[in-house]
Amino acid sequence: MSKISVSERLETQFNQLTRAERQLADTILRNYPASGLGSITSIAKKAGVSTPTVGRLVQKLGFSGFADYQQQLHGEVESTLSNPIAKHDKWTTDAPEEHILNRFTNVVMDNIQQSLANIDIQTFDKSCRLLADPNRCVYVIGGRITHALADYFFLHMQVIRPNITHIETTSNV
């Protein structure tokens, strides 16, 4: 199977899809890749289409079935999560230590180490347990500057657990 991403497949074949399949494709692309990682039933429900429509779409995209489709999506998520480390390793071998990429990376890593040194381990562990509890609801909201971090946190949390709500803000304050 080709390593063309699911989103590229959806975009390339979009005009050849039926109305229901385009509706499903729009839903998947809206919050990609997290929106495509649920069960076949939950994806169909979110898109307002039937479960067989999901099955037909993944086959039109070149997958042998829903499990094959999800396996590719999981691979894309893994690749995305591990990619920054691979990029840093490439930077350090391709650029001299005084290059801006390496200087920036060193400053960021120092900042992270300083932040970690000031974290109370018990409070951190308790926070993680609360965030991981699927019986609790988590509401995510960001401010004028922190909205990007909130969006990123929300994207990853909804892959991990249910009951995540993103509260969009419209204020510029």
* Residue 1, pLDDT score: 43
* Residue 42, pLDDT score: 92
Residue 36 lies in a domain: yes
Residue 126 lies in a domain: yes
* Contact status, residue 74 vs residue 37, Cβ threshold 8 Å: yes
* Residue 98, pLDDT score: 80
**How far apart are the C-alpha atoms of 113 and 106, rounded to whole Å?**
11
pLDDT (tens digit per residue) in 127-164? 999 999 999 999 999 998 899 999 999 999 988 899 99
* Residue 93, pLDDT score: 62
Residue 96 lies in a domain: no
Is residue 69 located within the same domain as residue 124? no
pLDDT (tens digit per residue) in 20-68? 999 999 999 988 888 888 899 999 999 999 999 999 999 999 999 999 9
Residue 152 lies in a domain: yes
Q: Last residue of a domain, which of 76, 104, 133?
A: 76
Q: Last residue of a domain, which of 43, 61, 76?
A: 76
Domain count, the chain: 2
Mapping DSSP onto H, E and C, the string for 28-76 reads HHHCCCHHHCCCHHHHHHHHCCCHHHHHHHHHHCCCCCHHHHHHHHHHH
DSSP three-state, residue 129: helix
Residue 127 lies in a domain: yes
Residue 97 lies in a domain: no
Q: Last residue of a domain, which of 76, 105, 137?
A: 76
Task: Give the count of beta carbons closer than 10 Å to the beta carbon of residue 90.
Answer: 11
CATH number, residue 34? 1.10.10.10
Where residue 102 falls among pLDDT bands split at 50, 70, 90?
confident
Average pLDDT, integer, range 89-106: 73
* Residue 96, pLDDT score: 73
Closest by Cα among 31, 54, 50, 71 to 164: 31
Residue 105 lies in a domain: no
Cα 77–Cα 52–Cα 34 angle in degrees, nearest 5? 20
Average pLDDT, integer, range 76-104: 69
**How far apart are the C-alpha atoms of 173 and 169, rounded to whole Å?**
10
The conformation of residue 151, written as its DSSP 8-state character, comes to H
* 93-97, 122-126, 131-135, range with the lowest pLDDT: 93-97
Is residue 71 located within the same domain as residue 16? yes
Where residue 77 falls among pLDDT bands split at 50, 70, 90?
confident
Residue 159 lies in a domain: yes
Find the domain containing 69 and state its range: 6-76
